[in-house]
Structures are given as structure tokens and as C-alpha cells.
Copies of this chain bind each other. A is one copy, B any other.
Amino acid sequence: MKAYTSMTQEELLQEKTALENEYKKIKELGLDLNLTRGKPSPAQLDLSMDMYDMLHSGIELVAEDGTDCRNYGGMEGIGEAKRLLAGFMGCWPQDVIVYGNASLSIMYDSISRSMTHGVLGSTPWCKLDRVKFLCPVPGYDRHFSITEHFGIEMINIPMTPEGPDMDLVEKLVSEDDAVKGIWCVPKYSNPQGITYSDETVRRFASLKPAAEDFRIYWDNAYAVHDLYEDERDELLPIMNECVKAGNPDIVYQFCSTSKVTFSGAGMSAMAASEANRESIRKQMSVQTIGHDKIKQWVHCRYLKDMDGVRAHMKKHAALVRPKFEAVETVLEQEIVSRGIGSWIKPKGGYFICFESMEGCAKAIIAKAKEAGITLTAAGAPFPYKKDPKDSTIRIAPTFPDIEEMKQAAQALAVCIRLVSAEKLLQA
């Protein structure tokens, strides 16, 4: 297939006319497909339903240490839940505080606490004139919503195949004491599916921030969400590296079981150094009577340990992988060969991040919408919803069924080609 950039004006015009016909036919199909949210499919949720066969009136809801999981108390979570989620995060059980149903709420809470109470005795951020966060882009829209909600200034950091541009991170963190944090999804990053290299993790652990209250917000959301058994990415556990670098307090790590068992009905956790936890505990003792220990109990009995988690995640992968492959096959055949876009093949996570030609993403998303395919809004993976190159399109393949996914991918390919041809004709 010929690359669009090698086509003559005439060839492009011909191509455009043919694509307009194809696009018209697609519109006539009356599709209604939604590729916006990284949600598990019903079939994935079915995988965990037998968890509830473990909960019944004949059971004793008692934790390993004798705690009655039905009553108040146990603010930091039951021991077996700490142990299990430490496995997700590559840290020690004692590093872990177990929370409620969503890690997003823990991150919100961490920022909110820093606004009102500072970090380990620092000035509360609400008393400062400027607070800044570094935002590797493209990134997770909900991270950026939190920082925007609190009026925190966001600075784009380009992603590389190894993780965020660490030269820039090191420079900004060490020079500017208004820089208080950085959002990271270190494994199978949202949306590109990049896993940070060992060197990147070590450079994070060794940061020398100008601000004593700078923290790395390490959202390990896809810690166990591999698509392939034999070529999964390994993320170097950051907390141990921080300890080795003499920087134990610099990181807050987060994870959840939302895409392992049930979304919004699982458990979440934070891991942090003893000093950080001591300070967080003070807040928690005011804020909560403890999180849901029955849910912790049943999750621990059901998933057992990391072997159990891996075995369970293989079942997810078997459902999800064909959907990723369907999209990738179409993109490879229809787009790469024509030189009008690219993506990094993810080995896990929930997204494919397509990079169109510059200045085309908005138009492609609008065209797809008109044909009944809803994609994540252009700009969503960027602070202030502004994609400087207008080229990033986040595709979430997990929720639709495989046939829908194929249909959507083919229709999307036509939209990409049509918009790219139009763009080149304008040039």
C-alpha cells in the first residue's frame, strides 16, 4: 500500500473520493458504539461472581488476627488484605493502608489533605501562591481533573518509550519548589501502555526535589493487567529503590482491584513510608471509622495470593486480548502501511493510544462520532484538555464485544484515512 505522503495531489483526491463513499456506507449502518471508557465487559465481571459463593450466613467473618470484619475498627485494613495488595505494589505489607472502593478517591484525598494540612508538617498548599504538578502526557484524564479542581498548575512532560522525559523531570523538580508532585502510571501507562524502564524508576527514586513536600503519585493501576503470558512487562518496585536512594518518603503508591474483580466494588490501597503513614493515620483517625473489612475478607479468601491473582488475570487477558488484537490488526493493515499514524503496542493495561498526523485528532473523533462511534474526547489525555499536537486518540477496547470492536476499528480506520487525506490536500 502506498504511503499518503508519497501520493500526488491527484492520487490523494481519488483516495478521498473513494473514502467518502466508504464513510457514507458506514454511516448508513447506524452504528452506536462507545469506545470511551476503560470499563471491564460484563463477561469480565462474570469471572469474579463465584467470589460471592464464599459469603453466606454460615461463614465466620473473622480476619487472621481475630478481628470481627463486621464491626468497627481496623482503620488500616486487615493483615491479609495488606499482604495481598503489597503483592500488587511490590512492597512490604506494613507499607500498605487499605482503603475503600477506589484508588482515585485516595489520590483525591491525598491532594486534598496536602491542601489543608500540608505534607509532613509543610505549609498547607492552600496557603501558597502557586502549586505545580508535573503531568506526563498523554496521561490519565482523572488525574488531571483532580489537580485542576484544586487550582494546581499543570506542566506537560513528554512521554518516551522508557517513561516520562526524566531530564526534564529532574530539572523542574530540583529547580522549582512550587513543584509538589508528578502523576505517574508506571506500568502499562494510561493511555500509551508504556512501562517505565528500570533506569526511569531509579531516577524517580533518586530525585532531589527543591520542595520538601514533593511527592511522586505512583498510580500502579495496571500492576497485574498483562495481556500476554510470555512477554509481560516487569516494573521495578519503586519503594525499595527509594529506600536505597535514601529517599523513603518521596513516593505515594496506589492500586486497586477495580479491574481485577468488580469496578467500584473492590478494594483499593495506598503504600507509603512509615513517616508518611504516620501522618496519614492522624487524618484517617478523624476521617473514618475504617473501611469495609467484609469486602477485604472476601477478596483475600477469593484471590488468595499473587499466584491466585495471576491465574485470575489470565482469564481477563483471554477475554481482552482478542479485542486489542482486532484493533491493532486493522490499524496495522490500514494505517501504518499508509504512514498516517502510529501507536506503541501495549502488553497490558486498558488502552491503545493512537497517534494520528498532527492536527487530525479532533477531526477524526468528530467524523467517528458522526458515524456512531464515540471515542474519548480529543484532548482528554492532557491537562486542561489541550492536546498541543491535536494527534492523540485514546481507544478503550475492553467493553464492546469483539464483533463490535472489529466493526468500530474498521470504521475508525476509514475516518483516520479520510481526515488524513483531507489534511494532506490542504497542505
Q: Which residues of A contact B (CB under 8 A)?
A: 37, 39-40, 42, 45, 49-53, 55-57, 59, 68-73, 100-102, 104-105, 108, 112, 115-116, 124, 126-127, 142, 145-146, 149-150, 258, 262-265, 283, 285-295
Task: Find out whether the CB atom of A286 lies under 8 angstroms from the CB atom of B145.
Answer: yes
* Distance between A104 CB and nearest chain B CB, rounded to angstroms: 6
Question: Which residues of B have CB within 8 Å of A258?
Answer: 72, 289
Task: Find out whether the CB atom of B45 lies under 8 angstroms from the CB atom of A52.
Answer: no
Question: Which residues of B have CB within 8 Å of A51?
Answer: 57
Question: Which residues of B have CB within 8 Å of A57?
Answer: 49-53
* Distance between A109 CB and nearest chain B CB, rounded to angstroms: 8
Question: Which residues of B have CB within 8 Å of A102?
Answer: 288-290
* Distance between A37 CB and nearest chain B CB, rounded to angstroms: 7
Given contacts A52-B57, A70-B45, contact A264 B292 (CB under 8 A): yes
Question: Which residues of B have CB within 8 Å of A42?
Answer: 68, 70-71
Give the 10 A-B residue pairs with the shortest CB-CB distance, closest first: A126-B126, A49-B57, A265-B294, A45-B70, A52-B55, A108-B287, A50-B57, A149-B286, A72-B263, A70-B262
Given contacts A71-B40, A294-B265, contact A112 B116 (CB under 8 A): yes
- 29 A-B pairs in the complex with CB atoms less than 8 angstroms apart: A37-B72, A40-B71, A42-B70, A45-B70, A45-B71, A50-B57, A52-B55, A52-B57, A69-B265, A71-B263, A72-B258, A72-B263, A72-B264, A100-B292, A102-B290, A104-B288, A108-B287, A112-B112, A115-B116, A126-B126, A126-B127, A145-B285, A146-B286, A146-B287, A264-B289, A264-B293, A265-B293, A265-B294, A295-B295
Question: Which residues of B have CB within 8 Å of A150?
Answer: 116
* Distance between A72 CB and nearest chain B CB, rounded to angstroms: 5
Task: Find out whether the CB atom of A104 lies under 8 angstroms from the CB atom of B287.
Answer: yes
Given contacts A50-B57, A57-B53, A116-B150, contact A39 B71 (CB under 8 A): yes
Question: Which residues of B have CB within 8 Å of A45?
Answer: 68, 70-71
* Distance between A71 CB and nearest chain B CB, rounded to angstroms: 5
Report Cα–Cα, A101/B294, bound state, in Å.
Answer: 11
Question: Which residues of B have CB within 8 Å of A56?
Answer: 52-53, 56
Report Cα–Cα, A69/B216, bound state, in Å.
Answer: 33
Given contacts A100-B100, A126-B115, A126-B124, contact A292 B263 (CB under 8 A): no
Report Cα–Cα, A394/B119, bound state, in Å.
Answer: 35
* Distance between A362 CB and nearest chain B CB, rounded to angstroms: 23
**Which of B105, B116, B149, B287 makes the CB contact (< 8 A) with A126?**
B116
Task: Find out whether the CB atom of B263 lies under 8 angstroms from the CB atom of A289.
Answer: yes
Question: Which residues of B have CB within 8 Å of A68?
Answer: 42, 45
* Distance between A90 CB and nearest chain B CB, rounded to angstroms: 24
**Which of B55, B71, B73, B292 makes the CB contact (< 8 A) with A292?**
B292
Task: Find out whether the CB atom of B292 lies under 8 angstroms from the CB atom of A265.
Answer: yes
Task: Find out whether the CB atom of A70 lies under 8 angstroms from the CB atom of B149.
Answer: no
Question: Which residues of B have CB within 8 Å of A127?
Answer: 126
Question: Which residues of B have CB within 8 Å of A265?
Answer: 69-70, 292-295
Report Cα–Cα, A112/B150, bound state, in Å.
Answer: 12
Question: Which residues of B have CB within 8 Å of A55?
Answer: 52, 55
Whose C-beta in chain B lies nearest to the C-beta of A150? B116
